[in-house]
């Protein structure tokens, strides 16, 4: 960074121009170097720049770590990587003989295994065996059925990763496991998507097609996209039993839905009533609360509204005041205010406070409605009215507002519906009849002004409910619907959690459970759709009765509704209730309710309907109740609670004993995954990679409006300028599981998943290295290490070294941590333990220490001791790798199966096991735990880190082996480091020539520099002959001259008046970090100069 720049831009590709105090500063978008304005303009035009010498950026602080390469290596042009393609026929065991790619290639590694697992029936449990087992010997779970509307997103991928990890873990623990897959018909979502597609592709509507033809179109959609979902789940490695795949509209599940409806009705819990509900005019259906998104408006706001064409956008966040004239007293008026002017067409009263002296004389009198031939009653209501707010008068529209509805019930007011289902003004709306509601709002405002009744309009904070499916503004509508009384079921569900019968993990969600269920309202279960389970209720008319005479929506005719498992059953029930002889049953006219059931009704039955309920099938007996329900925390009430309530009532059993709720997946900026934002990612796009143009094409092929398409594309270009790199399913799964440590929400950065592909590559490379030493004919794998003595320093294998004891002790701890983490649903902790153990203990430490062991044994003059050490090292390495693969398999099934199958002579360990998923899950081995050896190795690691830091600080070339000294007065420290094995390992990793020991008060030998590691240990390195001291002094002096003005510049800027107030926080943080970095480096340089200058004396 140049001395006069404010800060290195946080993202050079975006922030290539920054505003200084008086002028703009320009940075190269790739290198981040400061450039001139002309050069910046040339870059924008694509004009090549003149080649200039690059300013050498300061190296990172030399506080230890990476060693110095003696000289820059020449660039080597690598040959293109050979891409391996699997040719295994579907369902066959994978062809791996003679093929071992030199690098990890996820597409090759993950090929063939899923189809082989399925064909072998590894996912399918034995029902007869399951019937004999207790619940503790089985693990059963149903998948949260994804909507059949399209493809899965990364939230579904997290669900799959968690559930498959749990399932594979229990399977390897020896339990009979069953994970049932399925999809949900998603009534509103599916109908909405198909309707949009019909309009876009064919220019037609469902009403033009008719119900039968439209439903056929939806089934076609299901066949296409349902299979896509199935493929995605397979590619993620899910070990579900596909033979039991369920769809909520399948005949057996539909039968369960009908049975549940009938039983609820017969038990007196289900009824039909006319009440206010959330209505989507665009969908022309009632919708549930979960399908309503709320937006807070601070004031005047313009929004687009579906099916409104008179204006592009309409005004919201305003409150309009108008006057009602008092009947027979035209000089008197009452002024009311409303944010929904169009609803005044349905006003049947104006409420005032009974103690308000301004209106006491008007209570009981009537006001004149300006637009319809109706009188509006003045009523007194102390619950609805605050006489100190506004004019102290409130318009009452009982059929279109929840509070007004209750007021209307209290005062026995008339309920007048003034909106049609599509949001147009009804025929009782006078001159505004037929207008769309917000067009009518504008016309009514103009008319009020014309009549002299308009009293003003002002900004008003308000909360607006939007239909999540259509974007339409929700209208409270008074319509006849079917309801379930949930009170008794909710009470049982609350008690189940309180008494511990049902466990919710994490426990913090229990409060939400209690709050919802203890304040539960009756559940509206009917929807005005064509796609879904049609309500098994029939309206009956006697011979000679017409629709006009006997209206099915008239509440007085509610007794004419009959519920049955079939039309014939309903007909016979009607005969009995209406006094019609059974032989005359066919004379009755039955009309089935056209509405369908809320999707949550059928999905609430899923944990037992998939096993054949209401029949007592073998599956039902063997696998219900299930063990666990795992899902996102956002549907705790809408799905989980309803499953519990319905199961308790219909089966008298809990559907599962544990509920685990995972966090929500959001994008890296914390935004909800939304198609309109362009941040919804298909898991396959991460698994196989995806070019930017393909991401943009997907948006074009979707159902977004043109303006939303533009916004979504811009978001994709910003997030993925180079597309999404191929990561593989294992890396995706592991990365998603690692994110679960964050708590409620997962702010997912796709780039971080690329790092987990590198972890897979590390496992692959380590295995290839190991294979070079464990494939020899003389080596035979065994379980002998399980017989190690529990002694801290000795073992039954005499040639075992401290490094072997160390890695086995660390393996034991990792086995303990991972088993505990998965069993406690702490998947982030499991990934951390696996990642840390393999990278730092296995790769960075143990594998590096084995190289001289294998080299010594391969020498022509190797003695028996060297060969014994090699044999023990081979067995230890094999044991560690084999157990690590089994330990990691539930989280990363593909790469672990691939490598486990390649283990040399694996059959000697597991002669009857054909797949890693059927091998036993590794358990902790207490006799391996060796805290003394681990303590020794922690000291060794600290010493190695210090040695590497010294080599880096004093630029000792990599090829030079240095002479090291340990100086300490601690007998414990010296005893540990003086061990031949420890000393050898130190020299291996520190590139030491030899290691000597000194007393703590001994003088520093000439030519040595010192690094204090602790209050008990210092490390010395002899620089004599290792470096050219005068040359190093000259180099360091130049570095000091370069860094000193940089430090001074930063200090000057950061201490300038107004710095804290004028400079953005993000820039201040960058400046602070840079200053600390340069100061640290400068201190290291000064220290090194002092050392070198002493050496010249």
Q: What is the pLDDT of residues 138-178, one digit of tens each?
A: 999 999 998 887 678 888 899 999 999 999 999 999 999 99
pLDDT the model gives residue 889: 98
**What's the rounded mean pLDDT across residues 1058-1062?**
88
**What's the rounded mean pLDDT across residues 321-347?**
95
For residue 592, what are the β-bridge partners? 538
User: What DSSP element (H or E) covers 937?
Assistant: helix 931-953
Contact 670, 659 (CB under 8 A): no
- Greater confidence, 29 or 819? 819
pLDDT the model gives residue 445: 96
pLDDT the model gives residue 671: 72
From CA 1037, how far away is CA 562, in angstroms rounded? 96
Query: What pTM was computed for the model?
Result: 0.81
From CA 36, how far away is CA 429, in angstroms rounded? 68
Q: Which of 410, 409, 447, 402 is nearest to 425 (CA)?
A: 447
Q: Which of 826, 686, 679, 672 is nearest to 751 (CA)?
A: 686
From CA 122, how far away is CA 116, in angstroms rounded? 9
From CA 931, how far away is CA 936, in angstroms rounded? 9
How many CB atoms within 10 Å of residue 575?
Answer: 19
Q: Is pLDDT at 258 greater than 80 in this prediction?
A: yes
| Phi and psi at residue 351, to the nearest 5° | -100, 140
Q: Which of 144, 123, 132 is nearest to 656 (CA)?
A: 144
Contact 700, 692 (CB under 8 A): no
Pairing of strands 537-541, 628-632: unpaired
pLDDT the model gives residue 674: 66
Q: For 182-198, b where at least 16 C-beta lie within 10 A, e where not — what string? A: bbbbbbbbbbbbbbbeb
From CA 497, how far away is CA 658, in angstroms rounded? 10
Q: Is pLDDT at 28 greater than 50 in this prediction?
A: no
pLDDT in tens, 84-123: 999 999 999 999 988 999 999 999 999 999 999 999 999 9
pLDDT the model gives residue 1007: 79
How is residue 411 written in tokens? 């005062």
Q: For 371-396, b where at least 16 C-beta lie within 10 A, e where not — what string? A: bbebebbbbbbeebbebeeebbbbbb
User: What DSSP element (H or E) covers 945?
Assistant: helix 931-953
From CA 64, how far away is CA 49, in angstroms rounded? 38
Q: Lowest mean pLDDT of 573-577, 695-699, 851-855, 1006-1010, name the range.
A: 1006-1010
Burial class of residue 52 in the structure, from the number of CB atoms within 10 Å of its CB (0-12 exposed, 13-18 middle, 19+ buried):
exposed
| The three-state (H, E, C) secondary structure of 11-68, written as one string | CCCCCCEEECCCCEEEECCCCCCEECHHHHHHHHHCCCCCCCCCCCCCCCCCCCCCCC
Going 149 to 152 to 155 to 156, the CA torsion angle's sign is: positive
CA distances (Å), origin 517, targets 634, 643, 791: 15, 13, 56
Segment of 545-549, 789-793, 1079-1083 carrying the highest mean pLDDT: 545-549
Cis peptide before 614 (omega within 30 of 0): yes
From CA 1000, how far away is CA 991, in angstroms rounded? 24
pLDDT the model gives residue 1006: 77
Contact 839, 752 (CB under 8 A): no
The whole-angstrom distance between residue 155's C-alpha and the CA centroid of its chain comes to 4
For tokens 């203990």, the residue is: 841
pLDDT category, 448, cuts 50, 70, 90?
A: very high
Side-chain-side CA neighbours of 826 within 13 Å: the count stands at 12
| Phi and psi at residue 294, to the nearest 5° | -105, 135
Contact 767, 100 (CB under 8 A): no
How many CB atoms within 10 Å of residue 578?
Answer: 13
Give the total residue count for the chain: 1097
pLDDT the model gives residue 737: 94
| The three-state (H, E, C) secondary structure of 844-910, written as one string | HHHHHHHHHHHHHHHCCCCCHHHHHHHHHHHHHHHHHHHHHHHHHCCCCHHHHHHHHHHCCCHHHCC
**What's the rounded mean pLDDT across residues 354-377?**
95
pLDDT in tens, 984-1034: 888 888 888 877 887 777 777 777 887 778 877 888 888 887 777 788 788
Q: Quote the mean pLDDT of the chain.
A: 86
For tokens 């008074």, the residue is: 478
| Phi and psi at residue 643, to the nearest 5° | -65, -45
Q: Is pLDDT at 541 greater than 90 in this prediction?
A: yes
- Greater confidence, 256 or 47? 256
pLDDT the model gives residue 676: 57
Cis peptide before 796 (omega within 30 of 0): no
- Calculate the dihedral angle through the C-alpha atoms of 353, 359, 365, 370, rounding to the nearest 10 degrees: -100
How many CB atoms within 10 Å of residue 310?
Answer: 11
Going 180 to 181 to 185 to 186, the CA torsion angle's sign is: positive
For tokens 């005893």, the residue is: 975
From CA 813, how far away is CA 718, in angstroms rounded? 43
Percent pLDDT > 70 in the chain is 90
CA distances (Å), origin 758, targets 104, 728, 734, 735, 818: 9, 11, 12, 11, 21
Q: Is pLDDT at 927 greater than 90 in this prediction?
A: yes
Q: Across the chain, which distance is largest between two alpha carbons, in Å?
A: 123
> 3-state class of 133 per DSSP?
coil
How is residue 466 written in tokens? 């939007």
Angle of helix 802-823 versus helix 154-172 axis, rounded to 10: 120
pLDDT category, 78, cuts 50, 70, 90?
A: low
Contact 110, 726 (CB under 8 A): no
pLDDT the model gives residue 774: 85
How is residue 32 written in tokens? 């981040």
Beta carbons within 8 Å of 519's beta carbon, 6+ residues apart: none
Q: Is pLDDT at 134 greater than 60 in this prediction?
A: yes
Q: Is pLDDT at 366 greater than 80 in this prediction?
A: yes
Segment of 71-85, 403-417, 842-856, 995-1009 carrying the highest mean pLDDT: 403-417
User: What DSSP element (H or E) covers 992?
Assistant: strand 992-998
pLDDT the model gives residue 741: 74
Q: Is pLDDT at 821 greater than 80 in this prediction?
A: yes
Q: Lowest mean pLDDT of 611-620, 675-684, 777-786, 833-842, name the range.
A: 675-684
For residue 454, what are the β-bridge partners? 322
> 3-state class of 925 per DSSP?
coil
pLDDT in tens, 723-765: 889 999 999 999 999 988 755 677 777 778 888 999 999 999 9
**What's the rounded mean pLDDT across residues 906-919?**
93
For tokens 């050079």, the residue is: 12
Q: Is pLDDT at 58 greater than 70 in this prediction?
A: no
From CA 344, how far away is CA 323, in angstroms rounded? 11
From CA 647, how far away is CA 629, in angstroms rounded? 13
How is residue 188 written in tokens? 């509103």
For tokens 């220019």, the residue is: 203
pLDDT the model gives residue 98: 86
């Amino acid at each position: 960074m140049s001395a006069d720049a404010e800060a290195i831009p946080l993202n050079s590709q975006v922030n290539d121009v920054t505003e200084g105090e008086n002028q703009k500063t320009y940075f190269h978008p790739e290198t981040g170097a400061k450039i001139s304005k002309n050069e910046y303009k040339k870059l924008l035009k694509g004009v090549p720049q003149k080649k200039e010498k690059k300013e050498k950026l300061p190296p990172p602080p030399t506080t230890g770590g990476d060693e110095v390469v003696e000289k820059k290596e020449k660039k080597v042009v690598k040959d293109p990587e050979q891409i391996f393609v699997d040719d295994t026929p579907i369902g066959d065991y994978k062809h791996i003989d003679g093929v071992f790619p030199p690098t990890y290639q996820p597409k090759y590694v993950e090929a063939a295994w899923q189809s082989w697992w399925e064909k072998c029936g590894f996912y399918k449990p034995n029902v007869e065996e399951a019937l004999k087992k207790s619940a503790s010997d089985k693990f059963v779970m149903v998948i949260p059925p994804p909507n059949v509307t399209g493809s899965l997103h990364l939230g579904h991928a997290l669900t799959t990763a968690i559930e498959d990890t749990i399932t594979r873990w229990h399977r390897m623990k020896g339990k009979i496991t069953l994970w049932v897959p399925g999809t949900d018909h998603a009534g509103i979502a599916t109908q909405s998507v198909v309707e949009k597609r019909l309009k876009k592709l064919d220019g037609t509507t469902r009403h033009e097609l008719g119900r039968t033809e439209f439903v056929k179109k939806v089934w076609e959609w299901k066949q296409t996209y349902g299979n896509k979902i199935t493929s995605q789940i397979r590619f993620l490695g899910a070990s579900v039993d596909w033979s039991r795949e369920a769809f909520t509209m399948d005949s057996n599940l539909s039968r369960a839905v009908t049975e549940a409806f009938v039983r609820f009705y017969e038990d007196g819990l289900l009824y039909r009533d006319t009440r206010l509900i959330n209505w989507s005019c665009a969908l022309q259906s009632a919708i549930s609360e979960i399908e309503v998104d709320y937006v807070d408006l601070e004031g005047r706001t313009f929004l687009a509204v579906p099916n409104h064409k008179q204006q592009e956008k309409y005004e919201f966040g305003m409150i309009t005041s108008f006057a009602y004239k008092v009947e027979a007293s035209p000089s008197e008026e009452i002024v009311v205010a409303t944010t929904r002017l169009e609803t005044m067409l349905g006003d049947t009263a104006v409420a005032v406070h009974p103690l308000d002296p301004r209106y006491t004389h008007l209570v009981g009198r009537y006001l004149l409605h300006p637009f319809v031939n109706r009188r509006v009653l003045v009523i007194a209501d102390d619950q609805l009215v605050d006489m100190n707010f506004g004019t102290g008068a409130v318009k009452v529209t009982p059929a279109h507002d929840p509070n007004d509805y209750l007021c209307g019930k209290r005062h026995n007011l008339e309920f007048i519906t003034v909106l049609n289902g599509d949001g147009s003004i009804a025929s009782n709306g006078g001159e505004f009849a037929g207008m769309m509601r917000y067009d009518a709002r504008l016309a009514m405002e103009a008319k009020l002004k014309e009549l002299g009744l308009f009293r003003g309009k002002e900004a008003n904070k308000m909360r607006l409910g939007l239909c999540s499916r259509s974007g339409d503004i929700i209208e409270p509508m008074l319509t006849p619907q079917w309801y379930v009384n949930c009170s008794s079921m909710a009470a049982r569900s609350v008690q189940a959690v309180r008494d511990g019968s049902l466990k919710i993990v994490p426990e913090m969600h229990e409060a939400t459970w209690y709050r919802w269920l203890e304040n539960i309202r009756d559940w509206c279960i009917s929807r005005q759709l064509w796609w879904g389970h049609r309500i098994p209720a029939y309206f009956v008319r006697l011979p000679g009765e017409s629709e006009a005479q006997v209206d099915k929506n008239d509440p007085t005719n509610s007794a004419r509704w009959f519920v049955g498992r079939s039309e014939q059953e309903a007909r016979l029930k009607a005969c009995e209730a209406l006094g019609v002889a059974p032989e005359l049953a066919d004379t009755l006219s039955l009309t089935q309710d056209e509405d369908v059931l809320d999707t949550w009704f059928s999905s609430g039955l899923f944990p037992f309907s998939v096993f054949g309920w209401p029949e007592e099938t073998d599956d039902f007996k063997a696998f219900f109740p299930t063990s666990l329900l795992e899902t996102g925390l956002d549907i705790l009430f809408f799905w989980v609670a309803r499953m519990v309530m319905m199961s308790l009532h219909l089966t008298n059993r809990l559907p599962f004993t544990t509920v685990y709720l995972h966090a929500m997946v959001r994008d890296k900026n914390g935004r909800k995954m939304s198609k309109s934002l362009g941040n919804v990612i298909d898991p396959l796009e991460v698994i196989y990679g995806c070019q930017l143009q393909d991401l943009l094409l997907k948006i074009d092929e979707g159902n977004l409006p043109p303006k939303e398409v533009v916004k979504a594309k811009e978001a994709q270009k910003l997030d993925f300028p180079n597309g999404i790199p191929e990561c593989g399913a294992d890396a995706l799964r592991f990365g998603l599981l690692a994110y679960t440590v964050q708590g409620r929400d997962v702010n997912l950065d796709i780039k971080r998943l690329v790092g987990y592909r590198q972890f897979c590559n590390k496992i692959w490379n380590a295995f290839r290295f190991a294979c070079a030493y464990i494939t020899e004919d003389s080596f035979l794998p065994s379980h002998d290490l399980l017989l190690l003595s529990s002694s801290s320093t000795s073992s039954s294998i005499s040639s075992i070294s401290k490094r072997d004891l160390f890695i086995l002790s660390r393996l034991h701890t990792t086995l303990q941590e991972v088993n505990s983490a998965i069993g406690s649903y702490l998947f982030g902790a499991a990934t951390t333990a696996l990642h840390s153990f393999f990278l730092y203990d296995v790769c960075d430490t143990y594998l590096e220490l084995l190289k001289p062991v294998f080299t010594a044994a391969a020498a022509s003059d190797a003695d028996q001791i060297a060969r014994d050490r090699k044999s023990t090292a081979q067995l230890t390495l094999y044991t560690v790798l084999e157990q690590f693969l089994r330990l990691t398999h539930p989280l990363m099934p593909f790469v672990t199966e691939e490598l486990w199958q390649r283990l040399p002579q694996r059959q000697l360990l597991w002669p009857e096991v054909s797949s890693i998923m059927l091998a036993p899950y590794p358990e902790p081995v207490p006799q391996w735990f060796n805290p003394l050896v681990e303590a020794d190795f922690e000291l060794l690691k600290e010493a190695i880190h210090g040695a590497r830091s010294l080599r880096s600080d004093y630029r000792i070339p990599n090829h030079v082996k240095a002479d090291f000294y340990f100086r300490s007065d601690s007998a414990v420290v010296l005893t540990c480091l003086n061990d031949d094995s420890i000393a050898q390992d130190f020299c291996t990793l520190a590139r030491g020539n030899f290691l000597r020991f000194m007393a703590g008060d001994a003088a520093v030998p000439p030519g040595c520099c010192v690094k204090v590691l602790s209050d008990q240990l210092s490390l010395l390195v002899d620089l004599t002959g290792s470096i050219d001291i005068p040359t190093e002094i000259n180099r360091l002096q130049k570095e000091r001259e370069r860094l000193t003005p940089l430090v001074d510049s930063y200090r000057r800027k950061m201490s300038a008046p107004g710095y804290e107030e004028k400079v953005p926080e993000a820039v201040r943080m960058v400046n602070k970090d840079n200053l600390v970095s340069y100061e640290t480096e400068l201190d290291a340089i000064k220290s090194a100069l002092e050392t070198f200058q002493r050496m010249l004396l």
